[in-house]
Structure formats: structure tokens, C-alpha cells
Amino acid sequence: MKKIIAAALVASGAVLSLVACGDDDSDSASVTTDSVELQPTSTAEETTAAETSVTSTEQLGMIDQGKLDAFVVAFRTGYSDLSENRDDASIENIVIVSCNDLSNGVDEQQVTDKIMALAANNDVQPTPEQAERIYDLVTPACP
């Protein structure tokens, strides 16, 4: 059942990504960010994780960018509290690090435990159940 839910979230994320990338030939569409103020957030744990993690798909093999984008959309949709004030790269890093660990033969439980740390956002920690569902979203993105 978890895999069906994960597949549905990935599929809906892919559809949302495609809709967001629609063909708009008009020049009337514009986006302003004057009212949006993003404040960078970083904890010592995030800094350490970022320094020790894989930061590009070239180091890992070929993770499809579309799958990464779909994961980011599904993660933001399903876990708004964990994705608040996070950039896409930090969310993509969950996939990159997890896929790297899986390709190196790391046990599923250890990867899930690491996902808990990678998915944490400031004081918001994912539950073990959320980490398992995130794991189910990660695995289809792995090469």
C-alpha cells in the first residue's frame, strides 16, 4: 500500500511539474517576489550533512532530473512542514544521498534513518512513518 501511495505522489508531482512548465507564448505572465522574503536557514547538522553528502548527480550516475523534480514536488506537497523555507537543492539532496547509500549496499533501515536526518527542517523532525514514506518516494528516483 505504501508503494501505491508513493507512486501516486510521484505521479501527481510529475503531472504538476509538467503543468507548471506549460507553453506560454505571451509576455503578459510575470512573477514578482517583492512580497516574499526567504530567510536562509541552516543548522550545524544541515551544514555537516551538506559537506559530507553527494552534491551532484555526476558523482552518483544518472539520476533523471525529471524524477528529482517530481520528488521535490511530491515532498513539498506531502510534507509542507518539512519543506518550508527550503530550496530545491536541499530536498534533492535527500534523493542523491539516499540513492548513493542504496547503490553502495547500505541497509534500508539505515537509509531510512538517514532520511530522517536529511528531511528534518530546523526543529521539525519527520516521524519514522514519514521517513518510511519518503524512502518509498526516493527509491523510484534512483538509477
Q: What is the pLDDT of residue 5?
A: 52
Q: What is the pLDDT of residue 4?
A: 52
**Mean local confidence (pLDDT), 25-30:** 44
Identify which has the larger pLDDT, 4 or 48. Answer: 4
- Residue 34 scores a pLDDT above 60: no
Q: What is the pLDDT of residue 44?
A: 41
Q: Report the 10 Å Cβ neighbour count for 50.
A: 15
pLDDT tens, position by position, 50-103? 434 444 444 445 789 999 999 999 999 999 999 999 999 999 999 999 999 999
Q: What is the pLDDT of residue 62?
A: 76
For the record, the C-alpha cell of 5 comes out as 501511495
Phi, psi (degrees; rounded to nearest 5) at 124 = -90, 120
Q: What is the pLDDT of residue 19?
A: 41
Residue whose cell numbers read 519543506: 83
Residues 6+ apart with CB under 8 A from 48: none
For the record, the C-alpha cell of 109 comes out as 533501515
Q: What is the pLDDT of residue 88?
A: 96
Closest CA to 114 of 103, 104, 105, 106: 106
**Mean local confidence (pLDDT), 29-33:** 41
Q: Classify 78 as helix, strand or coil.
A: helix
Q: How far apart are CA 69 and CA 60, in angstroms?
A: 17
pLDDT tens, position by position, 102-143? 999 999 999 999 999 999 998 999 999 999 999 999 999 998
How far CA 58 is from CA of 49, 61, 64, 77, in Å, comes to 18, 5, 11, 27
Q: Report the 10 Å Cβ neighbour count for 122.
A: 15
